[in-house]
Amino acid sequence: MSDMGQAFVLALQLIAALDAELLEIIARSFAVSLAAVAIAAAIGLPAGAALAVYRFPGRRAVIVLVNALMGLPPVFVGLLIYLFLSRAGPLGFLGLLFTPTAMIIAQAVLVTPIIVAICHRLTRDLYEEYRDQLCSFGARPYQAVRTVLWDARVSLVTAVMAGFGRATAEVGAVLIVGGNIAGLTRVMTTTIALETSKGNLALALALGLILVLTAIGVNAVAMSLGGVSAYRRG
């Protein structure tokens, strides 16, 4: 059998056997990315809706900047956060470098602009429709922000899921700030990078398959929610 075929079979065996190392890495990956996305959503959703509702000087510049930040190179974000968290850096006293917390920070920084930008687009269109009615009701801008967030909630789930997809698939930033330490900061993507370079294709491939399955699962959920929202909009 070819190398690839062999690796594939071994990978499936690892998954089927619920290999302890594999499960530990998957669990850490999800824990880190879920925490990062929770932070990014807590910041990004109100910020995106506020950009749709409030009118202030420099608003367009902020929108351009946020859209640009969606394409932030993860390696560069990792480097910046590394500099901040390293012993000599301004936040070095926290001792966070090479911990899962550092990885959560890095992913949150990468994902927040994505959630802000998608949320802004979704709530902008809704607010366009609602504006006169909400003004007529006497809603204050902060109340309008709450209203559009609530009424767009189903489609906003897709924004959060896009962020989760980006977070789980990202390698560069978490590799730099996490250090890929076995049993501590090793996640799916960094393990794939390491095991591939060591020639341990089975574990790498098994994790790759899990990542793909995660992506498919997230998209399937997002799509079925989209169907529900299409119905509810009439």
Partner 1 sequence: MSILPLSLDKVSFRAGDRALLDGISLTIESGPKTVILGANGAGKSLLLRICHGLLGPSGGEVRWAEGTTRQYERQAMVFQKPVMLRRSVAANVAYGLKLRKIEAGERARRVADALRRTGLTDFADQPARLLSGGEQQRLALARIWALEPEILFLDEPTANLDPGATRAVEEIVSGIHDSGAKIVMTTHDIGQARRFADEVIFLHRGRVAERAGADTFFSRPSTEEAAAYLRGDLLW
Which residues are within 8 A (CB) of 103 and not within 5 positions of it... i.e. 6 or more apart?
Answer: 32, 36, 173, 174, 177, 178, 185, 187
For 133-164, the DSSP string reads: HHHHHT--HHHHHHHHHHHTHHHHHHHHHHHH
User: Whole-angstrom distance between the N-terminal and C-terminal Cα of the chain?
Assistant: 55
Residues 123-162 that bind partner 1 (CB under 8 A): 126, 129-130, 132-133, 135-139, 143, 147, 151-152
In angstroms, give the least distance from the CB of 54 to partner 1.
Answer: 18
Piece in contact with partner 1 (CB under 8 A), picked from 60-68, 103-111, 184-192, 226-234: 226-234
- Which of residues 24 and 129 has its CB atom nearest to partner 1 in the complex? 129
Position 76 contacts partner 1 (CB under 8 A) = no
Rounded Cα gap, residues 218 and 222, in angstroms: 6
In angstroms, give the least distance from the CB of 137 to partner 1.
Answer: 5
- Which of residues 76 and 137 has its CB atom nearest to partner 1 in the complex? 137
Position 228 contacts partner 1 (CB under 8 A) = no
Position 232 contacts partner 1 (CB under 8 A) = yes
Cβ neighbour number for residue 30 with a 10 Å cutoff? 16
Distances (CA, A) of 133 to 140, 147, 197: 12, 12, 59
List residues near partner 1 by CB under 8 A: 126, 129-130, 132-133, 135-139, 143, 147, 151-152, 232-234
